[in-house]
Amino acid sequence: MNKEQKPSKSKKGASVGIAICFVAAVAIVGTYTLRDYQEAKRQELSVTEDTDSAEDTDGTKEEEQPLEEANNDNLTIGTEEDADGTGTQTEDGAGGQETTAADTAQTTGTAQTTGSGTSVNFTEDSQILWPVDGNVLMSYSMDKTVYFSTLDQYKYNPAMIISGAEGDQVICGAPGIIKSIDVTAQTGTTVTVDLGNGYELLYGQLKEVPVNAGEYVESTTVLGYVSQPTKYYSLEGCNVYFEMRKDGQPVNPMDYMSED
């Protein structure tokens, strides 16, 4: 009986050893398989993170690019407006060039009409026409005072006060450009004409003025009509206030008026 049991124990021992070896092998294989799985997972996560990073980078560039293009468009528009000086339209740009030409003309003493080649160039040898057919009520006087009847006082007089009937035509004395049309308490509706080279003519006590500022006028052009006098000249009656200036200072119109 004992001899028969020994071989059975040997077989059982061998089976146990084989089982242990198998389990060990399985454990080793499982360990390596787990490590490989973990390593593969880490690589997959790394690739995913790199891809997301690349997409974020591309997305940022794509979002920034339109903004940069928009900024460039704005800069381009601003440059065109600055280049024109008055806007992006061709007509405005041309207007800016004409204004520059006018400024240059004024700098040299010659006035030029806007949008035309007509220029005016009054000199000390030029002559002016009488504005209205009438008598001189008060002469130019800047070296001594003269008596103003309405004001009942003596004052310097920078202009000629010429009588006229209400409604009489008042004509321009020389070619020029209408500089301004103003209304003052003393001279009423007053038209200022730029003759060029610093010379100007002022026509006051007018009504129904048919010209506009900036308009070119010839000599004999009707500037308006004699109106009722302002309260400063009520005793003098209807008249034309006729003043001449050189570089902003009054000068005697009689020194330039023709004898006709």
More confident residue, 103 or 220: 220
Taking a C-beta distance cutoff of 8 angstroms, is the pair 180, 233 a contact? Answer: no
pTM score: 0.58
202 has pLDDT over 80: yes
According to the model, what pLDDT value does residue 75 have? 36
Give Cβ neighbours of residue 127 (< 8 Å, ≥ 6 apart): 174, 256, 257, 258
106-121, pLDDT tens digit by residue? 433 445 544 445 789 9
| Ramachandran angles phi, psi of 209, nearest 5° | -75, 120
1-31, pLDDT tens digit by residue? 444 445 455 555 666 666 676 666 656 655 5
Q: In terms of residues, how long is the chain?
A: 260
126 has pLDDT over 90: yes
**How many other C-beta atoms are found inside a 10 Å radius of the C-beta of residue 183?**
11
According to the model, what pLDDT value does residue 108 have? 37
pLDDT class for 220, splitting at 50, 70, 90?
A: very high
* Element holding 184 (H helix, E strand): strand 176-184
**How many other C-beta atoms are found inside a 10 Å radius of the C-beta of residue 110?**
16
More confident residue, 20 or 173: 173
More confident residue, 118 or 164: 164
According to the model, what pLDDT value does residue 173 have? 97
More confident residue, 191 or 114: 191
96-106, pLDDT tens digit by residue? 333 333 343 34
Question: With pLDDT > 90 as the criterion, what percentage of the chain qualifies?
Answer: 52
Kindly tell me the number of DSSP H helices and DSSP E strands found in the chain. Answer: 2, 14
